[in-house]
């Protein structure tokens, strides 16, 4: 029954999101649409989060029936400092989502009201520990954009529909007791809907949930807690947040860390943290180029690192003479090619990894076998015993690419000089035009990863010396023999069938000759 209720709630939530999409279709398209909906969803979330917190606090002090939404702005000011300390932000009652939404249809200045509310929320965190987590969060929700309409009246008409659509989502004031993670699920549905329809650009923001779960489970095998988790190319944060679901937020003791180069996606990741009920003091998401301007230099190494960095992008490489002496890259003695940054992300992750940690990084398959500088970096990784496992994934798993990607697992404290190779290229089911990992597929991969035993045509433990003999090629197909599924041919039987055919042919020829002779006679 619980599962049925969960699916009903989720289906209703998705239906409402589709309705909002239809309301805005033709004016706001693609990524802009997602940004408006997610931004307004975030606005509703923090409004209800603050309201619920204050109402419960006042109830505890005997104020039965207290409702923060009904309080005057002047009286509410007394709670500003304590709320910023506790929650990281503050919202005046008049600027709460519920109150703005209630008056939206009759507010000729709705765009200005929203713009002011967003600005005030961000400003409330200035000078506090949460300032960096709120700064610029609403920058991508342009309530005065011509995309919403050519006049203020037309723009406000769209904004009213947007507010009412988000209000109609079945999240409720008791959303924390819902059977689904309602705000988080709405976010994931929006991201998946966008990525599946946006091709390559959408895939840059989103890693399919089942792949995120596989990476997180690989990084936490044998652990119930980790000090903190990190993603050097965190995108919308879905990989990081898998740890909250698998281990529980409190079991990621020191929080969630990441860096993102795209400012829109950076804002999105921070919003995603809040929507999944991760407090401002439990995450640190930085903006910038991880490869050349890494943040978190001074942080304690990370016990769990997961990432799906962009494949074979250009980077500064040897064009920046300082990078060869960068302590992240210097040990390999060579930089990743300027045209292919894949192994630069690998070297960065290795440098940030704790001695007892695990990193699981999705890789473009070419990095496993290409020569030149990449071959030298692989030699460094193998000779120093940092590569723990390479997993070949099925093709067509990711939005925007049909390529069969790989996972490279790194560890600094291995028990022996071997690498486990897993051929999971067939571990999937077809869903519409894409492939998908099922729970059974994930379980089989994890079992092989944990047990570390040879399994015919699926997994093989290979000594480093053999990898050296193969010129440091890390392609799974080099070490795991594919099963021959072709039908076996019985040569003796085949020869008998051929002999019978030849004999029959001779009989037919004789009969034809006889017929021809009779005709001619």
Does residue 510 fall inside a structural domain?
no
pLDDT digits (tens, 9 = 90+) for 417-458: 999 999 999 888 887 777 888 899 999 999 999 999 999 999
**202 falls in which pLDDT band (50, 70, 90)?**
very low
Domain boundary residue, one of 182, 198, 214: 198
- Which helix (H) or strand (E) is 305 found in, with range? strand 302-307
Q: Give the three-class secondary structure for 170.
A: coil
Directed axis angle between helix 439-451 and helix 209-219, to 10°? 20
Q: In angstroms, what CA-CA distances link 206 with 178, 211, 278, 297?
A: 25, 10, 19, 26
Confidence band of 76 (pLDDT split at 50, 70, 90): very high
User: Taking the mean position of all CA atoms in its chain, how far away is CA 287?
Assistant: 17
3-class secondary structure, 139: coil
Binned at pLDDT 50, 70 and 90, residue 203 comes out as very low
Say if residue 173's pLDDT is above 60. no
DSSP string, 468-496: HHTTT---HHHHSPPP--SPPP-HHHHHH
Average pLDDT over residues 23-40: 67
CA distances from 221 to 215, 245, 303, 413, 444 (A): 10, 15, 12, 14, 14
- pLDDT score for 182: 63
- Higher pLDDT pick, 488 / 29: 488
User: Percentage of the chain surpassing pLDDT 90?
Assistant: 59
pTM: 0.83
Taking the C-alpha atoms of residue 92 and residue 95, their distance in angstroms, rounded to an integer, is 5
Residue of higher predicted confidence among 406 and 491:
406
**Lowest-confidence pick of 63-67, 212-216, 450-454:** 63-67
Per the model's pLDDT, the better-predicted residue between 220 and 1 turns out to be: 220
Asked, for residue 503, whether it belongs to a domain, the answer is: no
Per-residue pLDDT at 434: 77
Say if residue 299's pLDDT is above 90: no
Task: Report, as an integer, the average pLDDT of 391-408.
Answer: 84
Q: Which band of pLDDT confidence, cut at 50, 70 and 90, is reported for residue 26?
A: low
Q: Is the pLDDT of residue 400 over 80?
A: no
Is 497 inside a domain boundary?
Answer: no
CA distance 324 to 22: 52
404 or 119: which leads in pLDDT: 119
Structure confidence at residue 296 (pLDDT): 92
Task: Say which residues have a Cβ less than 8 Å from residue 6's Cβ, sequence separation at least 6.
Answer: 179, 180
- Whether 176 and 282 map to the same domain: the answer is no
Q: What is the pLDDT of residues 324-370, one digit of tens each?
A: 999 999 999 999 999 999 999 999 999 999 999 999 999 999 999 99
Is residue 405 included in any domain, yes or no? yes
Nearest one of 286, 279, 272 to 232, comparing CA atoms: 286
For residues 257 and 173, membership in a common domain is answered with no
Are 408 and 361 contacting, i.e. CB atoms less than 8 angstroms apart? Answer: yes
pLDDT (0 to 100) of residue 272: 86
Question: Residue 237: helix, strand or coil by DSSP?
Answer: coil
Phi, psi of 444 (to 5 degrees): -65, -45
Rounded CA-CA distance 83/55 in Å is 12
- Residues 474, 351: Cα–Cα separation, whole Å: 21
Q: If you average pLDDT over each of 49-63, 188-202, 489-503, which comes out highest?
A: 49-63
Decide if 172 is inside a domain: yes
Which one of 198, 222, 241 terminates a domain? Answer: 198
Question: Is 508 a member of any domain?
Answer: no
**Average pLDDT score over the chain:** 87
Provide the token pair at 442.
Answer: 């994930």
Residues 107 and 223 in one domain: no
Residue 121 has pLDDT above 80, yes or no: yes
Residue 172 pLDDT exceeds 60: no
Tell whether the model's pLDDT for residue 12 goes beyond 80.
no
Residue 372 φ/ψ region, left for φ over 0, alpha for ψ in the -120 to 50 degree band, beta for the rest: left
Alpha carbon distance, N-terminus to C-terminus of the chain: 89
Residues 215 and 242: beta-carbon distance below 8 Å: yes
Q: Say whether 460 sits in a helix, a strand or coil.
A: strand
Residues whose CB falls within 8 Å of the CB of residue 493, separated by 6 or more in sequence, listed in order: none
Asked if 120 and 91 touch (Cβ cutoff 8 Å), the reply is yes
Q: Are residues 323 and 411 in the same domain?
A: yes
187 and 207 in a single domain? The answer is no
**Mean per-residue pLDDT, 358-384:** 96
Overall number of domains in the chain = 2
CATH number at residue 96: 1.20.1260.30
Statement to judge: residues 308 and 400 lie in one domain: yes
Q: Is residue 495 part of a domain?
A: no
* Whether 328 and 388 share a structural domain: yes
Residues 20 and 166 in one domain: yes
Distance CA 413, CA 406 (A): 22
Give the pLDDT confidence score for residue 196 in this predicted structure: 57
Q: Is residue 490 part of a domain?
A: no
Q: What angle do CA 101, 104, 106 make, to 5 degrees?
A: 145
Q: Per mean pLDDT, which range of 156-170, 186-200, 328-342 is the poorest?
A: 186-200
Asked if pLDDT for residue 195 goes beyond 70, the answer is no
For residues 125 and 14, the model is more confident at: 125
pLDDT at position 399, please? 62
Percent of the chain with pLDDT over 70: 87
Q: For residues 9 and 151, state if they share a domain.
A: yes
DSSP for residue 242:
H
- Hey, is 83 helix, strand or coil? helix
Taking alpha carbons only, the member of 290, 280, 384, 407 closest to residue 345 is 290
266 and 154 in a single domain? The answer is no
101 is in which domain, residue-wise? 2-198
- pLDDT, position 175: 45
């Amino acid at each position: 029954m619980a599962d049925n209720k969960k699916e009903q709630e989720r289906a209703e939530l998705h239906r409402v999101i589709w309705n909002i999409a239809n309301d805005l279709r033709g004016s706001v398209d693609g990524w802009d649409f997602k940004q408006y909906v997610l931004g307004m969803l975030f606005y509703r979330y923090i409004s209800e989060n603050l309201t619920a917190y204050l109402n419960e606090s006042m109830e505890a002090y005997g104020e039965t029936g207290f409702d923060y939404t009904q309080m005057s702005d002047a009286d509410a000011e007394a709670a500003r400092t304590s709320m910023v300390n506790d929650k990281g932000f503050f919202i005046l009652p008049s600027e709460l989502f519920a109150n703005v939404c209630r008056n939206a249809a009759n507010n000729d200045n709705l765009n200005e009201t929203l713009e002011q509310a967003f600005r005030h929320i961000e400003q409330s965190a200035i000078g506090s520990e949460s300032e960096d987590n709120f700064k610029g969060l609403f920058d991508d929700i342009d309530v005065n954009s011509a995309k919403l309409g050519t006049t203020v009246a037309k723009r406000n008409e769209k904004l009213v529909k947007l507010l009412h659509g988000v209000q109609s989502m079945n999240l409720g004031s008791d959303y924390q007791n819902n059977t689904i993670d309602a705000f988080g699920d709405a976010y994931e549905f929006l991201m998946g809907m966008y990525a599946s329809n946006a091709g390559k650009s959408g895939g840059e923001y989103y890693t399919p949930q089942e792949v995120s779960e596989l990476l997180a489970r690989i990084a936490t095998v044998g652990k119930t807690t980790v000090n903190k988790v990190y993603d050097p190319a965190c995108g919308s944060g879905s990989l990081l947040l898998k740890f909250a679901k698998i281990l529980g937020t409190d079991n990621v003791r020191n929080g969630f860390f990441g860096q993102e180069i795209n400012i829109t996606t950076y804002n999105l990741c921070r919003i995603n943290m809040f929507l999944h009920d991760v407090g401002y003091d439990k995450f640190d998401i930085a903006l910038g180029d991880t490869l050349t301007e890494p943040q978190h230099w001074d942080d304690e190494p990370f016990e769990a690192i997961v990432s799906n960095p962009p494949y074979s992008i250009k980077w500064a490489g040897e064009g920046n003479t300082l990078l060869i002496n960068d302590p992240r890259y210097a040990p390999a003695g060579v930089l990743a090619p300027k045209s292919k940054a894949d192994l630069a992300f690998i070297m960065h992750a290795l440098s940030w990894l704790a001695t007892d940690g695990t990193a699981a990084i999705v890789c473009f398959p070419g990095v496993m076998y290409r020569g030149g500088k990449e071959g030298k970096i692989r030699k460094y990784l193998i000779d120093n015993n940092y590569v723990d496992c390479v997993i070949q994934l099925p093709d067509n798993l990711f939005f925007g690419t049909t390529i069969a990607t790989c996972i490279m697992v790194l560890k600094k404290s291995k028990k022996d000089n071997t690498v486990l190779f897993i051929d999971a290229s067939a571990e999937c089911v077809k869903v519409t035009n894409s492939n998908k990992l099922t729970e059974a597929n994930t379980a089989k991969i994890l079992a092989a990863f944990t047990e570390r035993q040879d399994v015919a045509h699926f997994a093989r433990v290979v000594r480093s010396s053999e990898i050296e003999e193969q010129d440091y090629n890390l392609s799974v197909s080099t070490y795991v023999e594919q099963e021959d599924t072709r039908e076996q041919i019985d040569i003796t039987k085949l020869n008998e069938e051929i002999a019978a055919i030849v004999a029959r042919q001779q009989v037919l020829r004789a009969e034809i000759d006889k017929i021809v002779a009779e005709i001619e006679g």
